[in-house]
Amino acid sequence: MSLPYLPFTRPSIDEATIAAVGDVLRSGWITSGPKVREFEQKLSEMFGGRPVRVLNSATGGMEIAMALAGVGPGDEVITTPLSWVCTGNVVLRAGGRPVFVDIEADTRNIDLKLAEAAITPRTRAIMPVDIAGLPVDRDRLNALAKRHQIRVVEDAAQSMGANWGGRLIGSFGDLVSISFHANKNITTSEGGCLVLNDAAEARQCELHRLQGVERFPDGNMDATLAGGKYNLTDVAACIGLGQLPHLQQFTMRRRQLAARYFECLDRSLGCTLPIADMQQSNWHMFQVLLPEGMVRGDFIAAMHAVGIGIGVHYPAMHLFTLYRELGFREGQFPLAERVGRSIVTLPLFPAMQDSDVERVCEAMSAVLRVPARRAV
């Protein structure tokens, strides 16, 4: 009998949350309302009382953060090419220019030494990315920003439940955008939040997320800025409220599964494994680099053929057509390019069993030992 298909990720949503969503649907109030306010309050409590505004995506959070940081035409934002393309796109949409610097070979996160060397008088902000939920060094990051008087927009899309030195990501720092997409550590199906510094920024975020409109008790309204439409629905917020109590449990289970991968993966296969951080990373993803010469498409197809899903997160974005047209080219960021062409995301989600990890590792051993699947 064949084993069931094992996807690279799957959300864990309990029956109580499903029932609560039904209650919201029956209530007649399904767009932004009381559940959104409750979700924001719970998140604020989790992040030490900082103001939090929920949005329809972490991308929306970063777009608003660009506005709050004052990024506009002629401004530069330093970031990493190894991320989902939204990280660069939000800078372009603000009228700025992303300035990419290479990554660290071990963490796969932005190299802060290179980032500091890239600062110019036009630099408005730095936007680090916590790849796979492994935090960028927040001490060095925030010290760098303070020295150069630039804003920090944390692309913490993958960081929910991760910490730096015991401090939860989002509970400190500058502007922090977190994702609740379906493949994240907790989900609202689609959605995200922006953690802000004070009430004034929170109010500006509210205006940006819903057309810049201010409403008054007498029924009148005004539009004070050209906002967008980034609001989260009560349906989505209800899912988030059901997910939040499970965050610590989910994080611990992810760490256990990651530890099992380290125990089971055959090092002789030639894969490059991630840093084994079991204290700070939330293990949003378990990613390995395939051996040089292995054709990634062949590996993905072979694993799929035995019922195992594999993800790719992420190609180096500066090699996309959009960024090549801006003058970026192959060879500029060799570490990010090496990772981008070889990285694969293995299955990891809280409902997995240890035996699922063992199954993945056994399949990888079989696939990677077939010479015909290697590039010539």
The tens digit of pLDDT for each residue in 174-206 reads 999 999 999 999 999 999 999 999 999 999 999
User: Do both 232 and 250 map to the same domain?
Assistant: no
pLDDT for position 2? 81
* Pair 179, 258 in one domain: no
118 and 87 co-located in one domain? yes
Assigned domain for 2 exists:
no
Residues 57, 159 within the same domain: yes
The HSE-up count of residue 352 (CA atoms within 13 Å, CB side) is 30
Where a domain ends, among 196, 217, 245?
A: 245
Residues 248-259, mean pLDDT to the nearest whole number: 98
Q: In the chain, pLDDT over 70 holds for what percent of residues?
A: 98
Catalytic annotation, pick one of 113, 146, 184, 229: 184
pLDDT at residue 306 greater than cutoff 90 = yes
Same domain, 309 and 340: yes
Q: How far is CA 111 from CA 92, 152, 343, in A?
A: 22, 15, 18
Q: Of 245, 268, 287, which residue constitutes the final position of a domain? A: 245
Task: Please report the pLDDT score of residue 371 as a whole number.
Answer: 61
Q: What count of other Cβ atoms lies within 10 Å of the Cβ of residue 350? A: 18
Q: What percent of the chain clears pLDDT 90, i.e. is strictly above it?
A: 97
Mean pLDDT, residues 160-167 taken together: 98
Amino acid at 358: E
For residue 5, being part of any structural domain is answered with no
State whether 126 and 235 are in the same domain: yes
Q: Are both 117 and 254 inside the same structural domain?
A: no
Average pLDDT value for residue range 62-77: 98
Closest among 56, 117, 54, 129 to 91, alpha carbons compared:
129
Residue 6 forms part of a structural domain: no
**Cβ-defined contacts of 295-300 (< 8 Å, 24+):** 295/373, 295/374, 295/375, 296/341, 296/342, 296/344, 298/373, 299/344, 299/367, 299/368, 299/373, 300/344
pLDDT for 357-369, tens place per residue? 999 999 999 999 9
Beta strands of 103-155 (E only): which ranges? Answer: 123-127, 151-155
* Known catalytic residue at 113: no
Same domain, 241 and 252: no
Return the bridge partners of 294, or none. 374
Q: Is the distance from CB of 131 to CB of 361 less than 8 angstroms? A: no
Residue 260 has pLDDT above 70, yes or no: yes
**Which CA distances in Å does 209 have to 47, 59, 118, 354?**
21, 12, 31, 42
pLDDT at residue 372 tops 50? no
Q: What is the pLDDT confidence band of residue 1, given thresholds at 50, 70 and 90?
A: low
pLDDT of res. 114: 98
Residue 203, domain member (yes or no): yes
Beta strand pairing call for 286-289 and 213-215: unpaired
Q: What is the C-alpha to C-alpha distance for residues 195 and 145, in angstroms, rounded to an integer? A: 18
Give kind and range of the element (H or E) at residue 116. Answer: helix 112-117
200 inside domain = yes
Q: Does residue 148 lie in a domain region? A: yes
**pLDDT value of position 370:** 73
- 369 in a structural domain: yes
Mean pLDDT (whole number) for 111-131: 98
Measured CA distances, 197 to 41, 50, 82, 367 (Å): 15, 7, 27, 49
- Model pLDDT for residues 265-290, shown as the tens digit of each residue: 999 999 999 999 999 999 999 999 99
Mean pLDDT of 84-111: 98
pLDDT band for 209, please (50, 70, 90 cuts).
very high
Tell me the pairing of strands 52-55 and 213-215: unpaired
pLDDT at residue 376 in the model = 41
Whether residue 49 is found in the same domain as residue 184: yes
Claim to verify: residue 289 and residue 336 sit in the same structural domain = yes
CATH code, 342: 3.90.1150.10
Examine the fold and report which residue of 245, 267, 295 is the final residue of a domain before the chain moves on: 245
Give the domain range for residue 208.
15-245
The whole-number average pLDDT for the span 311-321 is 98
The two structure tokens encoding residue 370: 């077939």
* 264 and 235 in a common domain: no
**Mean pLDDT score of the chain, rounded to an integer?**
97
Residue 9 in any domain: the answer is no
CATH number of the domain residue 108 falls in = 3.40.640.10
User: Given a cut of 60, is residue 171 above it in pLDDT?
Assistant: yes
Amino acid at 322: L
How many domains does the chain divide into? Answer: 2
Predicted pLDDT at 291: 96
Cβ count near 267 (within 10 Å): 8
Same domain? For 255 and 240 the reply is no
